[in-house]
């Protein structure tokens, strides 16, 4: 019998590998049957990750998967991860590649990439974006953002509305004030004089 889904152990919980050619409705049916038959083996609250290197899910498919897993006490988390962050190219940031993500990053989701990241959408509270290069968010950022991971102090974080719960560049951390007013212009965070500063972007 053809296996449309496979569970594997991961550092964070479970990894769910989906057939990249099967219809998503068939995958959901098979997943439901597998969950029903093995419900006693799953711990409530276990995180289930779906690697996008195997199959990239649409926003609607993510929502359907989230609802199904939640029925059995499991927590869905999609990890957008092309390559693990390493020391390579850190000394030559101009050679870093750029990952484009055209969707909102929701609570519990993580974007991890060793180059720069451009997100066309929001970064919600509870979401995390980690990049070896710059981070550009075409929307509101309320999650955790870490640019210049592993030491690139020239990296920057730019967002239409920068209201992040935590901002980190290289090894420096800053946190937005609790009563920060809504910014009325695009802002950029960068390292200056040994600290992280946030200032309006001058497009002139």
Question: pLDDT tens-digit profile of 4-41?
Answer: 888 777 666 777 888 878 888 998 998 888 888 776 56
Between CA 188 and CA 93 the distance in angstroms is 18
Measured in whole angstroms, the distance separating CA 100 from the mean position of its chain's CA atoms is: 12
**Token pair 């102090």 in the structure block, residue:** 153
Give Cβ neighbours of residue 170 (< 8 Å, ≥ 6 apart): 148, 149, 151, 152, 153, 155, 191
Q: What is the DSSP string of 123-169?
A: B-TT-EEEESS-EEEEEEE-SEEEESTTT-TT--EEEEEE--SEEEE
Q: What is the mean pLDDT of residues 138-149?
A: 92
**Token pair 């939640």 in the structure block, residue:** 70
Task: Provide the pLDDT confidence category of residue 124 given band limits of 50, 70 and 90.
Answer: very high
- pLDDT at position 128 is 92
Q: Beta strands 47-51 and 187-192: pairing type?
A: unpaired
Residue 44 has pLDDT above 70, yes or no: no
Between CA 90 and CA 148 the distance in angstroms is 8
Residue 54 has pLDDT above 50, yes or no: yes
Residue 123 has pLDDT above 90, yes or no: yes
Share in percent of the chain as helix, strand, coil (round to 5): 15, 40, 45
The pTM score is 0.56
Residue 135 has pLDDT above 80, yes or no: yes
Give domain 82-200's CATH architecture. Answer: 3 Solenoid (2.160)
pLDDT, the chain, mean: 79
Domain positions in the chain: 5-79, 82-200
Give domain 5-79's CATH architecture. Answer: 2-Layer Sandwich (3.30)
């Amino acid at each position: 019998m053809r296996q449309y889904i496979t569970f594997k152990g991961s550092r964070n919980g479970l990894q769910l590998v989906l057939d990249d050619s099967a219809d998503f409705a068939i995958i959901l049916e098979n997943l439901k049957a597998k969950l029903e038959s093995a419900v006693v083996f799953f711990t409530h609250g276990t995180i289930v990750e779906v690697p996008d290197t195997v199959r990239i899910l649409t926003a609607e498919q993510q929502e359907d998967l989230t609802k199904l897993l939640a029925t059995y006490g499991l927590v869905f988390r999609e990890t957008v991860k092309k390559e693990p962050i390493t020391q390579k190219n850190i000394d030559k940031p101009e050679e870093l590649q750029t990952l484009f993500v055209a969707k909102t990053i929701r609570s519990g989701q993580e974007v991890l990439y060793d180059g720069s990241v451009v997100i066309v959408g929001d970064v919600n509270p509870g979401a995390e974006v980690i990049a070896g290069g710059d981070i550009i968010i075409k929307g509101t950022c309320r999650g955790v953002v870490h640019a210049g991971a592993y030491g690139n102090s020239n990296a920057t974080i730019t967002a239409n509305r920068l209201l992040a719960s935590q901002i980190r560049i290289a090894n420096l951390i800053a946190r937005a004030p609790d009563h920060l007013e809504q910014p009325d212009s695009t802002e950029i965070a960068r390292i200056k004089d040994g600290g992280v500063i946030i200032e309006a972007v001058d497009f002139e």
